[in-house]
Amino acid sequence: MIQKAFNLSPSILILILIFIYGCSNEGPTSTIENSPPGVFDVYIDYITQNSATIFWTEASANNPSEIFYTIYLNDLLIAENLDVFTFELENLNPGKFYNVKVIAINEFGENESLSSFSTLELQDLLISEYKFSNSSINVDYDENNKIIQKGSPFNYTNYSYDQNKKITTEFGGPQGPVFSSTQYTYQNTNLSTILLREGNEEFWEIEFSFSSDQTSYTKTVSYVLNGMITQLGQYEISGNFNNEGQLISLESLNLNTLEVEVFNFEYLNGNLIKIIDPNSDVWEILYDNKKTFHTYRSGCSDSYWRALFDVAGLIFLDEDLASALRHIPFLFDSNNSNNPIEYKKNGTTYRSFNYDYNDSNYPIKIITENNEILLSYIEI
C-alpha cells in the first residue's frame, strides 16, 4: 500500500485550530447578576407626643427574589419580615429624639436607610372655641386629635381623613350660595393632587399636581360657568426646604407670561419669623414664649370669613398676603411653637397682639385692634 503524506503550512494549521476551538465552545450568554436590595428612602410623618408613622419607598434588585424589611428604633429591633412600606410606632415618650433604621433584606444581601425624629412636647390642651363679642367659632376633633370641624352652624369647614389618617377633604361654606371644597388624592403614600373649588353654579377651580418627590407641583387655575371650563393660568412651582422640612423658598413660573415670583421664609425656634413676598415686602413676626393656641392644621383656610382666615398657623394677616399663602400647599400643615405678638411690614408695625394666659401657659384672651377674642380649650 502506498501512503501519501500531506504537508500543511503553519498558517493553515493555525486556522484549523481556531475553527476547532470555536466550534467546541458555546458563545457568551447574558446573565442577571444576583444582588442585594438597592437604595431606598425612609421618612417619618404623623408625629404626635407618643406616636409616629414610618414610611419607606420600595427597594429594588436585579433579580426576582422577595424583599423583606426589618425596623430598628434606637438600635432596638421592633419589627421584621415586613412586606409592606409603612409601620406605626406607638407608646413613645413625649419630647424625645429617636433614630430609625430600616433594613431591606433578600437572599443575596441587605441594604439600610436611616432617619430620625422627635416626638412632640406634651401638649395638654386643644383649643375648642374662639368667642367674639357677638359670635363664636367652635373647633372639634376626632379621637386622634385631628380637627374635623371649625366654624359655626352657618359658616364652617369640615375635615375628613382616610384610614391612614391622611386628610382627604375640607368642605366649607354657609347655608347659602357660596361654598369651598378641597379634595386630596394620593398615590401610595404620596400626595398626588389637590383640587380646590370656591363658588357654586359658577366657581373658581385650582388644581395642584405634585411631583413624585413632593418638592414641586403644577398649579392650574380655571373658571367654571355652566359646565364650561376656562383656563386662566398655569404655573410651575418648586420649593426648597431646610433640614426640619420647613419651606424656605418658593419659586413660581407663570407658563403663560414666563414671569417668576419668589417667596422666602425664615424660622427660629419652631416659629415662622420672616416672609419676603414677591413684591420684596418684608414681613416680620415676633412671638411670645407661651404655648400656641393654634392647635390644628390650617389647611386651605376658608376665605369667606376673616376670623377663620388663618394660614401657616397665623391669624389676621394682611389679606393679600394671606390669600397668597393659603394657596401654597406646603404651608397647609404648618404651625408655630408660640403665639404672634407683632406683625411688621418693612419695619413698621402692621398689627400687634396682647394676651391673657391660663395656668398652663395657653392664651385665654387675644386683644388685637378692635377685636377681643376669648379662648376655650379641652384636655387631650
Dump pLDDT digits (tens) for 135-168: 888 999 999 999 999 888 777 889 999 988 899 9
Grid coordinates given for 241: 426646604
In the 3-class helix/strand/coil scheme, how is 9-49 assigned residue by residue? CHHHHHHHHHHHHHHCCCCCCCCCCCCCCCCCCEEEECCCC
pLDDT for 339 equals 96
Does residue 252 contact residue 235 with C-beta atoms inside 8 Å?
A: yes
Grid coordinates given for 69: 424589611
Report the relative pairing of strands 271-276 and 109-118 from DSSP bridges.
unpaired
Return the amino acid letter for 89.
L
C-alpha to C-alpha distance for 221 and 205, rounded to whole angstroms: 6
Does residue 362 contact residue 293 with C-beta atoms inside 8 Å?
A: yes
pLDDT for 7 equals 53
Does residue 151 contact residue 293 with C-beta atoms inside 8 Å?
A: no
Domain with CATH 2.60.40.10 in the chain: 42-118
pLDDT for 138 equals 93
pLDDT for 1 equals 41
Grid coordinates given for 373: 377674642
> Which of 300, 304, 301 has the alpha carbon at shortest distance from 177?
304
pLDDT for 123 equals 62
Per DSSP, the residues of 83-113 read: -SSEEEE-SPPTT-EEEEEEEEEETTEEEEE
CATH topology of domain 42-118: Immunoglobulin-like (2.60.40)
Residues in the chain predicted with pLDDT less than 50, given as ranges, are: 1-6, 23-24, 27, 29-30, 303-304
Helices (H), 74-198: none
pLDDT for 120 equals 80
Q: Which residues pair with 220 in a beta bridge?
A: 207, 234
